[in-house]
Amino acid sequence: MAAAIKKVGVIGSGQMGNGIAHVAALGGFAVVLNDVSAERLKSAMATINGNLSRQLAKKIITEDARKSALANITATEKLDGLSDCDLVIETAVEKEEVKRKIFHDLCATLKPEAIVASNTSSISITRLAASTDRPERFIGIHFMNPVPLMELVELIRGIATDDATFDAAKAFVTQLGKQIAVSEDFPAFIVNRILLPMINEAIYTLYEGVGNVEAIDMAMKLGAHHPMGPLELADFIGLDTCLSIMQVLHEGLADSKYRPCPLLVKYVEAGWLGRKTQRGFYDYRGDKPVPTR
């Protein structure tokens, strides 16, 4: 029997964390949203509020649903505020050492029967599970960005994940109205294993001068019918996240075809991380995005 999930903790209130809190609260779960930064928590609550209002204006949700979703979410800077959650989803930065520290600290206060999940884009679920006191109740629940709009969630079992945990995660994701693709625990799973090398190749195309930012994005939008160009998409994902995923692929699969483009490294070193810092392959500080190359 799958354990009943009623209260969900979300660690990290960035673009993915606020999206996961949003859909879980709309799905009827009590949600506790955590971040180390009070400012990020405040801005996440404002984003959730704004996105729920937009859904109401588009008649996707009712006023009652908007109100009860907001009432379902509480925010805390303290990890022990999540101790009585039935499921905790970690969605902090894509750095293994940060995630391992979070799991270590979380497990010290979390009730033993609770399930722990990571929204990692690429890091081994088996390895993250091994840093907890409950590898059998650890699973990858990988949401797509933007969470309220995207239909897919990847579920990834670690080597020790038990059936009850998998079933509970499946029931949780289904209650959010999302579709599930099950992936084996290999670097970057399914979506990012395919998507990120394409984005990295687009950055090489820019780096080698084959085309400029506008030409590359237009080529893939009009020539391959992609809804967003690959460089625009990289800015949307976050260039730090893109680089971390390519590093995990490069190290995990030991194949030079996954070598992160030096231009991607340079943008990250500059702190030009895409939309979240207002600058990446486009500059977002004006009325409309302007290519930076």
Ligand X SMILES: NC(=O)c1ccc[n+]([C@@H]2O[C@H](COP(=O)([O-])OP(=O)(O)OC[C@H]3O[C@@H](n4cnc5c(N)ncnc54)[C@H](O)[C@@H]3O)[C@@H](O)[C@H]2O)c1
Residues noted as catalytic? 121, 142, 154, 192
Please report where in the chains the tokens 């990289």 appear, as a residue. 234
According to the binding rule CB under 6 A, does residue 37 interact with ligand X?
A: yes
Q: At what angle do helices 38-57 and 63-72 cross, to 10 degrees?
A: 170
Amino acid at 20: I
With contact defined as beta carbons under 8 Å apart, do 114 and 88 qualify? Answer: yes
Collapsing DSSP to helix, strand or coil, 221 comes out as: helix
Q: By CB under 6 A, which span of 58-66, 115-123, 208-216, 221-229 interacts with ligand X?
A: 115-123
According to the binding rule CB under 6 A, does residue 107 interact with ligand X?
A: no
Find the binder of ligand X among 2, 3, 36, 160 (CB under 6 A): 36
By CB under 6 A, what part of segment 267-286 binds ligand X?
A: 276
Q: Is 99 annotated as a binding residue?
A: yes
Structure tokens at 156: 């990834």
According to the binding rule CB under 6 A, does residue 91 interact with ligand X?
A: yes
Round to whole Å and give the CA distance between 226 and 31.
Answer: 34
According to the binding rule CB under 6 A, does residue 241 interact with ligand X?
A: yes
With contact defined as beta carbons under 8 Å apart, do 53 and 14 qualify? Answer: no
According to the binding rule CB under 6 A, does residue 215 interact with ligand X?
A: no
According to the binding rule CB under 6 A, does residue 17 interact with ligand X?
A: yes
Round to whole Å and give the CA distance between 44 and 80.
Answer: 20
β-pair type (7-11, 87-90): parallel
Q: By CB under 6 A, which span of 6-14, 165-173, 206-214, 223-231 interacts with ligand X?
A: 6-14
We find the least distance from the C-beta atom of residue 211 to ligand X, in angstroms, to be: 24
Number of residues engaging ligand X in binding (CB under 6 A): 27
According to the binding rule CB under 6 A, does residue 102 interact with ligand X?
A: yes
Pick between residue 15 and residue 200 the one whose CB is nearest to ligand X.
Answer: 15
Collapsing DSSP to helix, strand or coil, 291 comes out as: strand
Pick between residue 108 and residue 210 the one whose CB is nearest to ligand X.
Answer: 108
Pick between residue 101 and residue 259 the one whose CB is nearest to ligand X.
Answer: 101
Q: By CB under 6 A, which span of 8-16, 51-59, 175-183, 252-260 interacts with ligand X?
A: 8-16
Residue 251 burial (10 A CB sphere; 0-12, 13-18, 19+): exposed
Round to whole Å and give the CA distance between 153 and 172.
Answer: 11
Q: By CB under 6 A, which span of 55-63, 119-127, 174-182, 206-214 interacts with ligand X?
A: 119-127
Structure tokens at 116: 């722990």
According to the binding rule CB under 6 A, does residue 200 interact with ligand X?
A: no
**CA distances, 12 to each of 5, 144, 149 (Å):** 20, 15, 19
Round to whole Å and give the CA distance between 202 and 204.
Answer: 5
We find the least distance from the C-beta atom of residue 131 to ligand X, in angstroms, to be: 14
With contact defined as beta carbons under 8 Å apart, do 48 and 70 qualify? Answer: yes
We find the least distance from the C-beta atom of residue 113 to ligand X, in angstroms, to be: 23
- Site of interaction with ligand X (CB under 6 A): 11-17, 34-37, 40, 91-94, 98, 102, 119-121, 143, 145, 237-238, 241, 276
Residues in binding site for NAD(+) = 12-17, 35, 94, 99, 121, 145, 276
